[in-house]
Amino acid sequence: QGRAIRRVVALFDNVEDLIAENDRRYEDDNENYTIDQDRLQIGYVTLTTTLPWLFKKSADMEYDEYLQMLKLLRQGADSARGDDTSKLKTLVAEWVNKGFKPDIPVDFDDKHTRGFSNDACGRLLCPAELDWNNPKKCSLLTRVRTGIRDRSEGYIVTDLSFPAYLYDGYTANPDDLEEGLFQGKILVQGYKAVFTSPSSAKVVEGDGDGTDIIQNNRRARKSFNGAKVKKHVRFSLSSITSWRSVDGDFDYFQFWCTIVDFFERPPGRDARRRVERLLEWWSRKVFGRSHRNDISDVAKARMSVNALAMQRAQRDDAAFDSP
């Protein structure tokens, strides 16, 4: 139980904190909530739709039993996060080696060979506003790589910068930083590996081969910003060997909040429409598009299921009319 919590509800917050925020709102008439409080409340609402049995079951429990249930949920949630992190650790190394063919391949087990010390991982982790790998600017290239590795002024990597791996083609347009954002190939691979299957992550070109499941699955759509996967991919590319919320100057919790806010707190209607289009892109990319409605009635009538039904009806009619 609880494995869906870190994947769909909240990556960092505990169930107890979500429930406490909802309870506080019932007791407090103040409507001037902070962004953090709103995040907790959104998490609570998602929790109630993800685990609809939770509150009905808890109402019939003694308090000690209730606390034990929450503990088990938390353990299940953290266990799922650990499993996903371990899974992506190996898969991300495979994808980087296949996609970039580095002179020294990324080791599947030793994370000390990753991070900015590795040119392939460094390119993907590099802040979008910097140029890690431009052969036309050799002196600048050296300065960027050295500056990041030495954590020099102007090259300190924090959660205030979008990593290049978030972008389509792993390159950002400085004049339109929203263009291609959250469309990186390795993101799609990571999402499919976690939410569908590792084998499905091998094919990410074009649309998926399923149906428009996101349009009909509100829970899946709620989780489709993939904030968890975006964070896990960065962790897999980094050189840190065990999970923690801060990696040097990079705060994973703030990074997660930035991604969630991008999808859930757009500044206006146009931004919201762009978010919707991005979610639709992800829906097609991961689950595919249904072409059922494109089939004409004439074509449907010739298909074997409908053709057989017609033949059986005709035979029945013929038998009824025969003397």
Structure tokens at 139: 């002196």
pTM: 0.74
Determine the 3-state secondary structure of 175 from DSSP: coil
Determine the 3-state secondary structure of 110 from DSSP: coil
Bridge partners for 163 per DSSP = 127
Please say whether the beta carbons of 160 and 127 come within 8 A: no
Q: What pLDDT does 209 receive?
A: 47
Residue among 132, 147, 118, 133 nearest 237 (CA): 118
User: How would you write the pLDDT of the chain (323 residues) with one tens digit per residue?
Assistant: 677 787 778 778 888 888 888 888 888 777 788 888 888 888 888 888 888 888 888 888 888 888 888 888 888 888 877 788 888 888 999 999 999 998 888 988 888 888 998 999 999 999 999 988 765 455 555 688 888 989 888 899 999 999 999 999 999 999 999 999 999 999 999 888 888 888 888 777 665 544 444 444 444 444 444 565 666 788 788 887 766 778 888 998 899 889 988 998 899 999 999 999 999 898 888 877 666 767 888 888 889 999 999 999 989 888 877 76
Which residue do the tokens 């991982």 mark?
121
Structure tokens at 128: 């979008």
> Which residue type occupies 251?
D
Q: What pLDDT does 217 receive?
A: 42
Tell me the C-alpha distance between 257 and 322, whole Å.
75
Tell me, what DSSP letter sits at residue 200?
Answer: G
- C-alpha distance across the termini of the chain, in Å: 66
In order of 131, 168, 209, 258, the CA distances from 173 in angstroms are 11, 10, 30, 19
Residue among 208, 216, 181, 180 nearest 192 (CA): 208
Tell me the C-alpha distance between 199 and 203, whole Å.
8
Q: What pLDDT does 123 receive?
A: 93
Tell me the C-alpha distance between 228 and 195, whole Å.
11
46-55 residues labelled b (16+ CB within 10 A) or e (exposed): bbeebbeebe
Q: How many CA atoms lie within 13 A of 175 on its CB side?
A: 0
For the residues of 255-287, what is the DSSP string, one character each?
Answer: HHHHHHHHHH--SSHHHHHHHHHHHHHHHHHHH
Tell me the C-alpha distance between 131 and 59, whole Å.
56
